[in-house]
Amino acid sequence: ESSSRPSIETELKPDSVQQYTVNTNQTTASITVVDSPINSLHVLRVMLAAKFHKGIADIKETNTIKELAAGKSAIQNEVVGELAGEFSGASVIEDVAEINLRDLASKLENKSGNRLGKVTTKLINKMLSTKLPGGFGASIARKYLQGKGAGPSTVDSIILHALTLQPKGRLKSTSEAQLWLDSVCNDFSSDQGVKLHSVISNSVATPALMMPRGAKQSALNKIPDAPLDPKHVLIIILATKLGKGMESISETNSIKELVNGKSAVQNEIIGEIS
């Protein structure tokens, strides 16, 4: 039953809000939240992308687990076991590995309870604890995403999506964390067809703006914000644009090499970074 399914750690529990207000020194903006239930097909594709070290764009709804495992029965059985841990009732579905993901997701849709399960919760908690910089915890990340018009379930879906675009190491600053979340939002929006809003134009929200009620400004002021590393920023942009994990992009790669001769994509990337 859904009551037995875990929520993401305490600071990741969604707020029951329909609007989110952001205060700046000069303006206050209020937006309507865009929210959608957690999509079982999206959960499946993220789990498989993370498991097989692929971009989520490479995991098609027509794929089967057996096909993606490429004959490796050990990893295929491991994936099937993880699905049983993620979705209540998945273990009773026959020939799980041979059902295409679209049909499998349909069978699992009512078994999720619109909450993430044990497997993805564990992966997300590990990612957030090891990748976010000091002073920019999970609750601040959630507020930042809410500031883009994402409702509670959509925030969970975006953070889930981030599993496919993890930084190679811990992000160094608030600015890098926000840039990473922006890139995840863009990729999520493109993949899921969900349009998010930009609340503050020509400005970047900071933890001071997004911190939970009751948090002391002084506690955050003590944490220095390191300058952006242009090389790291470029890797984030390329990983998002090409649908690759950040760990697969080396600083020795060239843009031409990464696009595999696709001049249109190459020119698009050059236009974005120039």
Question: 26: number of CA atoms within 13 Å, CB side?
Answer: 3
User: What is the amino acid identity at position 168?
Assistant: K
Count how many domains the chain has. Answer: 2
pLDDT per position as a tens digit, 3-28: 444 444 433 333 333 444 444 343 44
Question: Of 58, 85, 111, which one is at a domain's C-terminal end?
Answer: 111
> What does the mean pLDDT of the chain come to?
78
Give a yes or no: residue 83 inside a domain.
yes
Exposure string of 185-200, with b = 16+ CB inside 10 Å and e = fewer, is bebbeebbebebeebe
pLDDT per position as a tens digit, 124-153: 999 999 999 999 999 999 999 999 999 999
SS3 category, 76:
helix
Distance of alpha carbon 203 from alpha carbon 28, whole angstroms: 13
Residue with more model confidence, 113 or 161: 161
The residue range of the domain holding 106 is 40-111
Give a yes or no: residue 261 inside a domain.
yes
Confidence grade of residue 45 (pLDDT, cut at 50, 70, 90): very high
Q: What is the DSSP string of 77-117?
A: HHHHHHHHHHSTTGGGSTTGGGS-HHHHHHHHGGGSTTS--
pLDDT per position as a tens digit, 69-110: 998 999 999 999 999 999 987 878 899 999 999 999 999 876
Q: What is the pTM of this model?
A: 0.65
49: CATH? 1.10.1200
Inter-residue contact 220 to 212 (CB < 8 Å)? no
